[in-house]
Amino acid sequence: MNTAHPMIDLPGQGMPAAGFEVPLEMLSACHGRVERQCQTLRRLVPHLATHGSDADARKAAANVMRYFDTSAQDHHADEEVDLFPALLQAAAGDDAERVSALVALLLAEHRDLATHWQRVRAKLVRVAAGEPETLDAGEVESMVTRYEQHIAREEAELLPMAGRLLDLSTLDDIGRAMRRRRGLADAA
């Protein structure tokens, strides 16, 4: 997994920093943050086996939970509530079939990722509370690998397709919806 995740180059999205005014780059940047959290989970497995639920483990567990319980949920909502419907509406001809199949696959992956996250999260709750707990390496690796594959698919297929099919007005609407979802006021 690449922990120095480069943002993809998307048409109409050439600003230097990823913010809500460039929603596709913001979604791509979020993938990098997911990757970093997954790396923390990977490192936490041997740490717990050696050091138990010490202060570092408690802090790491709390941070990973906070990220996946808030930012990752917002990211999935950005896609499911705003991006996917906009793509389905914008797609025509051969694109319509490809977009429909891709959206269905990504939605199924979101559900699968949520299931894996809940299994890992149940153990992280105990770690964050300082209770003796270990993380199953296979369970963590299964979740992380699924995230890697999901991110790769979104980077290679979803975001480039969105950059090609969505007009700037639609992208602006998506960016405003992303800000509202996070409780941020719209810039005038």
What pLDDT digit, counting tens, does each position of 18-77 carry? 567 889 999 999 999 999 999 999 999 999 999 999 999 999 999 999 999 999 999 999
Which amino acid, one-letter code, is at 22? V
> What are phi and psi for residue 17, nearest 5 degrees?
-115, 145
Q: How confident is the model at residue 10 (pLDDT cuts 50, 70, 90)?
A: very low
d(CA 30, CA 124): 22
Residue 124 confidence (pLDDT) above 50? yes
pLDDT confidence bin for 166, thresholds 50/70/90? very high
Distance of CA 6 to the CA centre of its chain: 15
Residue 127 has pLDDT above 80, yes or no: yes
- pLDDT score, position 188: 44
**How many C-beta atoms surround the C-beta of residue 82 within 10 A?**
20
Residue entry with tokens 């006021």: 185
Q: In CATH, which of 1.20.1250.20, 2.60.15.10, 3.40.50.300, 1.20.120.520 is domain 23-181?
A: 1.20.120.520
**CA-derived radius of gyration, the chain:** 18
Report domain extents, the chain. Answer: 23-181
Residue 13, pLDDT above cutoff 70: no
Burial class (CB in 10 A: 0-12, 13-18, 19+), 16: exposed
Distance CA 166, CA 172 (A): 10
- Mean pLDDT, to the nearest integer, of 2-16? 39
Rounded distance between C-alpha atoms, residue 18 and residue 184, angstroms: 16
Per-residue confidence band for 17, with pLDDT thresholds at 50, 70 and 90: very low
pLDDT of residue 11: 38
Q: Can you tell me the distance from the alpha carbon of 28 to that of 21, in angstroms, rounded to the nearest whole number?
A: 13
Q: Are 142 and 116 in contact (CB under 8 A)?
A: yes
6 neighbors 162 (Cβ within 8 angstroms): no
How many other C-beta atoms can be found within 10 angstroms of the C-beta atom of residue 173? Answer: 15
Using alpha carbons, select from 177, 19, 181, 152 the residue that is nearest to residue 83.
177
Number of helices (H), then strands (E), in the chain: 8, 0
- Predicted confidence band of residue 186 (pLDDT cuts 50, 70, 90): low
Going by C-beta distance under 8 Å and a sequence separation of 6 or more, which residues neighbour residue 122?
A: none
Tokens of 162: 């969105």
